[in-house]
């Protein structure tokens, strides 16, 4: 009988300690949440000047060189200096043609892994920069799907 009473007392003590710990953690979480609500996020530093503009390219779908039944879909954007919308549209069309030409000469194994994707990004950015005479600062690959 004493053993059962001791187990009941220890169980009640454990329940009380757990409840107190839970209330303490809940109060601490509320304090942290309230502190985050009042804090303003730090400004995001941009590596581009105020004249830079992000322009989205239309999705590109083409077949790859090897294997012949593989297709690639690329959605990309380019970061350009300030230019008229007409010039940017023409430039975007030329860059899209360059991307299609590049992808048609590449195989799916070239894009495997992080290094493959980094090489693709670097190659396409370099081609875009050359095509635009330096007006395109960077080509950002948003999605790449190979099937």
* Residuewise pLDDT in 10s, the chain (147 residues): 899 999 999 999 999 999 999 999 999 999 988 888 877 777 766 677 677 888 999 999 999 988 888 999 999 999 998 888 899 999 999 999 999 999 999 999 998 899 999 999 999 999 999 999 989 989 999 999 998
Res 45: pLDDT = 64
DSSP class of 55: E
Res 46: pLDDT = 66
Nearest to 123 by CA among 145, 104, 89, 98: 98
**CA 110 → CA 26, 103, 115, 124, 135, distances in Å?**
51, 10, 9, 13, 28
Res 9: pLDDT = 94
Q: Into which CATH architecture does domain 53-146 fall?
A: 2-Layer Sandwich (3.30)
Matching residue, tokens 């950002």: 140
Coil vs helix vs strand at 72: strand
pTM over 0.75: no
Instruction: Assess contact for 98 and 62: CB atoms under 8 A.
Output: no
Res 98: pLDDT = 94
**CA 52 → CA 35, 48, 127, distances in Å?**
35, 6, 19
């Amino acid at each position: 009988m004493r053993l059962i009473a001791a187990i009941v007392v220890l169980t009640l003590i454990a329940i009380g300690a757990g409840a107190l710990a839970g209330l303490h953690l809940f109060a601490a979480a509320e304090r942290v949440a309230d502190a985050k609500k009042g804090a303003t996020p730090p400004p995001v530093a941009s590596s581009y000047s105020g004249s830079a503009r992000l322009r989205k390219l239309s999705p590109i779908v083409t077949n790859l060189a090897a294997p012949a039944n593989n297709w690639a879909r690329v959605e990309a954007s380019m970061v350009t200096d300030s230019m008229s919308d007409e010039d940017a549209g023409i430039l975007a069309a030329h860059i899209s043609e360059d991307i299609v030409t590049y992808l048609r000469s590449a195989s799916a194994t070239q894009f495997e892994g992080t290094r493959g994707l980094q090489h693709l990004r670097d190659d396409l950015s370099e081609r875009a920069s050359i095509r635009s005479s330096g007006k395109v600062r960077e080509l950002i690959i948003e999605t790449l799907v190979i099937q």
